[in-house]
Amino acid sequence: MRIACGGVQHETNTFATVPTTLADFIRDSGCGPDFFGGEELRARFRDSGTVHGGFIAGAEQADFELLPLICVHAQPAGIVQDEAFNRILGLFLERLKQVMPVDGVLLDLHGAMVTEAHSDAESAFITAVREVVGPQVPIVSTLDLHGNIGQRSAELADVLIGFDTYPHVDMYERGREAALLMARIVRGEVRPTQAFRKVPLLTMPPMQCTLREPMISLMRKLHELEALPDVLTATVMQGFPFADIPEAGVSVFVTTNNNRQLAETLADRVAGWMWDLRDALQPKLTRVDEVIQFARDNTQGLVLYADGSDNPGGGAPSDGTIALQAMIDAKFEGGVVGILYDPETAAQAHAAGVGKTIPARIGGKTDDQHGAPVVTDAYVRSLCDGHYNFHGPMYQGMTGEFGPMALLVIGGVEVVVASRRHQLLDAEMLRVAGVTPERRKLIVVKSAVHFRADLGPLASHIFDADTPGIHRPDFAAFKYQHVRRPIYPLDKMT
Ligand SMILES: [Zn+2]
């Protein structure tokens, strides 16, 4: 049995002003301009906490030959340029044709990629793959929980399997699940029958989190349903609300073994569960002054303030300054902001050296929606090259690069600046810069939910920030023009 695998992942924030280029995919993937596949790809992902790590493990367990073609991603940002999408898809198809015939194709897609030409780029990807392999060869794709999935993807792929967790700590398990299911399909042991529902509902990251209610209970019920006879897999996709496209929002897939009626009935049931939670899924936000006061009064433990409005993991600049400026103005002691994307300030600190004070202009440089630069003298406490290993539950076994990083001190507030933009989702990202998170009173994290996987257990309290930005978890902050209507909560629906 020969199974091709590969994919491209991007979460596109259509409200972001910075487009996503081919150069972004080359830099962030670390695969070089030829986007290597084959053995190099296998070596990179083997034993890692990623979907491809799961594909590799599943292929070994089910004893089939896995043919890795290409697997690339770019940091979430604005619309993906056609040049980038066409190049990546072109390489995938070229390599797929070289290994044909195959018995199946495993895809590792995100689900929320928007390109200049396609609002639903994954369906364009799956369509092109289907054209090469024909109607009989099974296609199984994993998807990020934030995918905005269209009808066409559901029709063209035999099985779609979304992540069950946010923070996404089950990428490896979902990859392995997809690979094992693929083996059963190819061996003729099961006939996947998939039902798909779009729920007329948009949800926001803080409450999509599966470590909090109401999603803890809903996921428990979903797993009970997956254990029913004839059910192969079931998924609730929350969707990515910062994309003004018709496909945005919640969707549901249920796949049974050749039981159409059961698949349709259960898909309706799960869609109903999500619809019933529509009000419970709306977040409550906390103002900066409130959290500063709370952290001052909270003498025991660490407070985390999730600055989701400026979450680079959802395409935001990660250089927002609202909370940083407020902590400086309040003369807060024991506060940290991280990780701010500011290559200029990082370079300035590296040029000056540890122990020096620099006249800095920190953050607020990407656009005018996340606060103005903080103009201040800043003391350079430590410097590093920004190389780190993921130690937390996400991406375990992988490495990351922030480029030159600096830990700056302004009064009682520390700020970590980096030369590359990445969501703060692993405590190691702070530790390499010289911050011991458990010894601080208040950390403003540039993340909406993923930080909870590794930093959450260190905190006594967590608040969702009421700050401005292009990832603000507040529907009133956005003007949607292309989302299908009616949809809750943009429209009143009963
Ligand atoms: Zn996601």
The contacts of residue 42 (CB under 8 Å, 6+ apart) are 56, 66, 68
The contacts of residue 239 (CB under 8 Å, 6+ apart) are 112, 146, 147, 148, 149, 202, 203, 248, 249, 250, 251
Examine the fold and report which residue of 252, 276, 300 is the final residue of a domain before the chain moves on. 276
Question: Which pLDDT score, from 0 to 100, does residue 184 have?
Answer: 98
Query: What is the distance in A from the centroid of ligand 1 to the CA of 162?
Result: 10
CA distance 362 to 337: 11
Angle (nearest 5°) at CA 388 between 387 and 393: 155
Angle (nearest 5°) at CA 379 between 373 and 385: 85
* Tokens at 197, concatenated: 């529902």
Query: What is the distance in A from the centroid of ligand 1 to the CA of 145?
Result: 5
CA distance 354 to 350: 8
Does 484 reside within a domain? Answer: no
Query: What is the distance in A from the centroid of ligand 1 to the CA of 146?
Result: 5
CA distance 132 to 97: 7
* Tokens at 259, concatenated: 């039981």
Question: Which pLDDT score, from 0 to 100, does residue 32 have?
Answer: 87
CA distance 103 to 450: 36
Query: What is the distance in A from the centroid of ligand 1 to the CA of 175?
Result: 15
77, 174: one domain: yes
Query: What is the distance in A from the centroid of ligand 1 to the CA of 51?
Result: 13
φ, ψ of residue 427 to 5 degrees: the values are: -60, -25
Does 322 reside within a domain? Answer: yes
Question: Which pLDDT score, from 0 to 100, does residue 186 have?
Answer: 98
Query: What is the distance in A from the centroid of ligand 1 to the CA of 44?
Result: 21
CA distance 314 to 312: 5
- Please check whether residue 2 is in contact with residue 67, taking contact to mean a CB–CB distance below 8 angstroms: yes
Query: What is the distance in A from the centroid of ligand 1 to the CA of 399?
Result: 19
Query: What is the distance in A from the centroid of ligand 1 to the CA of 204?
Result: 12
CA-wise closest residue to 321 among 288, 349, 291: 288
Query: What is the distance in A from the centroid of ligand 1 to the CA of 166?
Result: 7
Query: What is the distance in A from the centroid of ligand 1 to the CA of 149?
Result: 13
327-341 per-residue burial string, b: 16 or more CB within 10 A, e: under 16: bbebebebbbbbbbb
Which uninterrupted H or E stretch holds 195? strand 192-198
Does 170 reside within a domain? Answer: yes
265, 362: one domain: no
pLDDT in tens, 150-198: 999 999 999 999 999 999 999 999 999 999 999 999 999 999 999 999 9
Q: What is the DSSP letter of 160?
A: E
Does 239 reside within a domain? Answer: yes
Residue 141: strand, helix, or coil: strand
CA distance 319 to 316: 8
164, 299: one domain: no
Examine the fold and report which residue of 276, 303, 337 is the final residue of a domain before the chain moves on. 276
CB atoms under 10 Å from CB of 100, counted, come to 12
Query: What is the distance in A from the centroid of ligand 1 to the CA of 356?
Result: 39
Beta-bridge mates of residue 306? 445, 464
CA-wise closest residue to 130 among 119, 141, 139: 139
227, 339: one domain: no
251, 313: one domain: no
Does 455 reside within a domain? Answer: yes
Question: Which pLDDT score, from 0 to 100, does residue 473 have?
Answer: 97
pLDDT tens across the length of the chain (494 residues): 999 999 999 999 999 999 999 999 999 998 889 999 999 999 999 999 999 999 999 999 999 999 999 999 999 999 999 999 999 999 999 999 999 999 999 999 999 999 999 999 999 999 999 999 999 999 999 999 999 999 999 999 999 999 999 999 999 999 999 999 999 999 999 999 999 999 999 999 999 999 999 999 999 999 999 999 999 999 999 999 999 999 999 999 999 999 999 999 999 999 999 999 999 999 999 999 999 999 999 888 999 999 999 999 999 999 999 999 999 999 999 999 999 999 999 999 999 999 999 999 999 999 999 999 999 999 999 999 999 999 999 999 899 999 999 999 999 999 999 999 999 999 999 999 999 999 999 999 999 999 999 999 999 999 999 999 999 999 999 999 999 999 999 999 98
400, 265: one domain: no
Query: What is the distance in A from the centroid of ligand 1 to the CA of 3?
Result: 26
Question: Which pLDDT score, from 0 to 100, does residue 494 have?
Answer: 80
Query: What is the distance in A from the centroid of ligand 1 to the CA of 401?
Result: 20
257, 337: one domain: no
CA distance 21 to 11: 13
Query: What is the distance in A from the centroid of ligand 1 to the CA of 205?
Result: 9
Residue 425: strand, helix, or coil: coil
Query: What is the distance in A from the centroid of ligand 1 to the CA of 85?
Result: 20
Query: What is the distance in A from the centroid of ligand 1 to the CA of 298?
Result: 32
Query: What is the distance in A from the centroid of ligand 1 to the CA of 13?
Result: 12
Does 479 reside within a domain? Answer: no
328, 271: one domain: no
Query: What is the distance in A from the centroid of ligand 1 to the CA of 154?
Result: 19
Does 395 reside within a domain? Answer: yes
241, 317: one domain: no
Question: Which pLDDT score, from 0 to 100, does residue 306 have?
Answer: 98
Does 490 reside within a domain? Answer: no
Query: What is the distance in A from the centroid of ligand 1 to the CA of 293?
Result: 32
Q: How many structural domains compose the chain?
A: 2
198, 232: one domain: yes
CA-wise closest residue to 314 among 357, 387, 364, 370: 370
Question: Domain limits at 238?
Answer: 2-276
Examine the fold and report which residue of 242, 276, 310 is the final residue of a domain before the chain moves on. 276
Query: What is the distance in A from the centroid of ligand 1 to the CA of 111?
Result: 9
Question: Which pLDDT score, from 0 to 100, does residue 84 have?
Answer: 98
* DSSP-assigned states of every residue in 212-271: STTHHHHHHHHHHHHTSTTEEEEEEE---TT--STT-S-EEEEEEES-HHHHHHHHHHHH
Query: What is the distance in A from the centroid of ligand 1 to the CA of 150?
Result: 17
The contacts of residue 149 (CB under 8 Å, 6+ apart) are 111, 120, 122, 143, 160, 196, 198, 237, 239, 247, 251, 253
157, 192: one domain: yes
363, 424: one domain: yes
Question: Which pLDDT score, from 0 to 100, does residue 233 have?
Answer: 98
Query: What is the distance in A from the centroid of ligand 1 to the CA of 156?
Result: 22
What Å distances lie between residue 9 and 73, 112, 323, 441, 442, CA to CA? 5, 8, 30, 35, 33
